[in-house]
A and B are shown apart, each in its own frame.
Chain A
Amino acid sequence: MGPAITPGAPAVELHGVSVRFMSERREVAALEDISFSLSPGSFLTLLGPSGCGKSTLLRVVADIVAPTSGSLRVLGQAPGEARRRREIGFVFQDATLLPWRSALDNVRLPLQVGGSPARGGRSPEELLALVGLAGWEKALPHELSGGMRQRVSIARALLGDPKILLMDEPFGALDEITRDRLNDELLHIWRQTGTTILFVTHSIHEAAYLGQQVLMLAARPGRVREMIPVDLPEPRQLAIRDTAGFGALAGRLRAVLETC
């Protein structure tokens, strides 16, 4: 398995990470001096106004975007190393399925590219069943609903049992009923797999319901506003949203969000 992952190392650790882009001959600071650390197995939601660099932050962790300055470790390794070892699963806002491949073949894609490091974990068939799509293996993406497509992309991200799952507003384009159901199923998957999850959202309720902690980002430039712990009882069920505790938390998140 190559170099061992440092035991007890944080799942994700950022020190003063900044990202700048050139746009229209003007330099734009997308992220400025981001530092935080996340222990393995935790569920962090990232919340903030648009333009706060939530998606960029996920892309830095996934080694899609390189930081302009600062340093980060993913499972005690450089992010590129973690990516090559398939420790990272990514779920995009759009399901990003290959339209000519069946649901099952889409989940299999990670086995067919990138030298496909042989790894344990659940088979593609088991993963489709885990996300509630048993019996839909042969369906093409255009035959599936938006929610089902996103389930397929979650199954694909879970292939190879990654230690970190990065999710970029995965349910943002779905209707509320589907979104609630997928939130519940995601918590179920998180408990079953023990994966560390970083989840970007622009919904206060989603951030509060899913996360153990909410990382609030401020915009222009994107910077850490506050790390807010979520002290709601586990395991959570949707009914928790009707409790006074949840209402108070959502109220607090909204109050902080308004200052960002």
Chain B
Amino acid sequence: MASDVGMVHTAAASPARAAAADPARAAWLAAQRWARWKRRLLPLLGAASLLFAWWALVAFFQVKPFIAPAPQVVAATLWQKSDILLANLWPTAIEALSGFLIGNLVAVAVATLFVHRKGIEMAFFPIVVLINSIPVVAKAPILVLLLGNGMAPKIAIAAVICFFPTLVNMVRGLEAVSPQSLELMHVLSARTWEVFIRLRLPTSIPYLFSALKIAASTAVVGAIVGEWIGSQEGIGALIIQATYNFDSALLYATVICGSAFSVAFFLAIRMLERICVRWAPQSQS
């Protein structure tokens, strides 16, 4: 028994020495290390093999540059035309971020109203759920027709597109309190606003963040689709221009640029979520 305890201590202090003493443990440690590396390497390997396949297909079939570019040409375009790309990313980013902020703020406010005025919720919530189920790409053109040109309509489109998923999730989050918690608040004679601040709002935060993560990417989609019709600048406008000019390298570079922004936006929200939601064991997603 005493020697067992000593063994554990040595293992913790110096794995190498313990490994020398115990080949089975050394093999197990090596297998663990390999598994860790595999988790990191395989996704990179997968991406690299697809890039290679892209390059090989374009080279082998001698695909014309105006149909599809080779990956190295896209990379070169990303570098050479970075000033044009950034100049066009800027308005799209402003539209997406402002739309995101406005849409989500209004959604949270309306959700708060719904939860406290059941009659209004009963009248309008089913319609909200219905509108929420319409795909973004179908909603956006309707809004473009309604709202016209300029930056403001794009912001409005991004906002409207963010609004519905956040409203639906926020209402569910604010109502996700257990009946017992409400009874507890009643026994403590808590006022309605105290129940909201101390119980409903914190309960809804995880629901809010799952909506914000959806909204982060849909806001960018909304801004881009808004720019497709009658816009001179922005990622959406650049996509249209590149397509009409058969500049496939620029088209691909623009798409990569827009996606990179979308992913960065999403990751920023996820980081904020990790900071704000610490009470629950982290769910892996």
Task: Report B25 CB to chain A, min CB distance, Å.
Answer: 31
Report the minimum CB–CB distance from A116 to chain B (whole Å): 9
Q: Identify which of B183, B188, B202, B278 contacts A110 (C-beta below 8 A).
A: B188
Say whether A135 faces chain B, with CB atoms less than 8 Å apart: no
Q: Given A98-B199, A109-B198, is A64 in contact with B189 using a C-beta cutoff of 8 Å?
A: no
**Contact, CB under 8 Å: B279 / A90:** no
Name the contact of A115 in the complex, choosing from B180, B189, B278 (C-beta under 8 A).
Answer: B189
A93 CB to closest chain B CB (Å) equals: 8
- Is A114 engaged at the interface, CB distance under 8 Å to the other chain? yes
Flag whether B184 is at the interface (Cβ < 8 A): yes
Please, which residues of chain A bring their CB within 8 A of the CB of B195? Answer: 113
- What residues of chain A lie closer than 8 Å to B194, measured between beta carbons? 112-114
The contact size tier of chain A is 20 to 34
CA distance A93 to B184 in the complex (A): 12
Chain B contacts with A in 32-85, Cβ cutoff 8 A:
none
> Which B residue sits closest to A166, measured CB to CB?
B187
Question: Residue of B at shortest CB range from A140?
Answer: B279
Size category, B interface: 20 to 34
A100, closest chain B residue (CB)? B279
A113 and B198 contacting across the interface, CB-CB below 8 Å: yes
> 12 other contacts beyond A98-B202, A109-B188, A114-B191, with CB at 8 A cut-off?
A59-B183, A83-B189, A84-B189, A90-B184, A99-B280, A110-B188, A112-B198, A113-B188, A114-B190, A115-B189, A142-B280, A142-B281
A-B contact pairs, 11 of them (CB 8 A): A62-B187, A64-B186, A83-B189, A96-B180, A96-B184, A100-B202, A101-B279, A113-B185, A114-B191, A142-B280, A142-B281
| Top-10 shortest CB links A-B | A114-B189, A113-B190, A100-B279, A113-B194, A99-B279, A90-B187, A96-B180, A114-B188, A92-B180, A114-B190
